[in-house]
Amino acid sequence: MENSTNIDNLKQDNSTEINNIIQQIEKDNDTVKQAPNVQFQEQPQYQEEKQPLQNEPIEINASMTDILLHEFKGTLTFIILFILFSINNVDELMGSYLSFVWGDDRLNMFGVAIKAVVGGVLFYILNKFVL
């Protein structure tokens, strides 16, 4: 406040707005002077302690067959679906319901494509929702 000018030294203006502002400043100054000394302390900033990653193995209470089934469930699902869709009875059943996929005593290319799409959808559904 060493470089500030005292309000009394300022040129007085008859403008009511300026007088209102000056009165408000004086009122605020009086309030601050009458208030007890309040010191604001900075709150310490807490930093998360970074712990180094430890290469400790995680214990899993599962049997070897559970682990193998979990690891190979997608592969086993594919093998089972492939065997089921390779059976000739499936081709004949498909040909009896969808006659346009059957030709020359076997599935035509369109039938093979439909069978592949159905197998893919079944594979997705089994992996996503069942297994």
Distance, CA of 33 to CA of 25 (rounded, Å): 12
Encode pLDDT of 29-81 as tens digits: 887 777 766 665 666 666 666 665 667 777 778 888 888 888 888 899 999 99
- The answer to whether residue 114 is domain-embedded is yes
Taking residue 7's Cβ as centre, other Cβ atoms within 10 Å add up to 11
CA 86 to chain CA centroid, nearest Å: 41
CB 80 within 8 Å of CB 60: no
- The confidence band for 28, taking pLDDT boundaries of 50, 70 and 90, is confident
- The answer to whether residue 110 is domain-embedded is yes
Distance, CA of 15 to CA of 21 (rounded, Å): 10
User: How many structural domains is the chain composed of?
Assistant: 1
- The answer to whether residue 68 is domain-embedded is yes
Q: Which residue segment(s) compose the domain that 100 sits in?
A: 64-130
pLDDT tops 60 at residue 1:
no
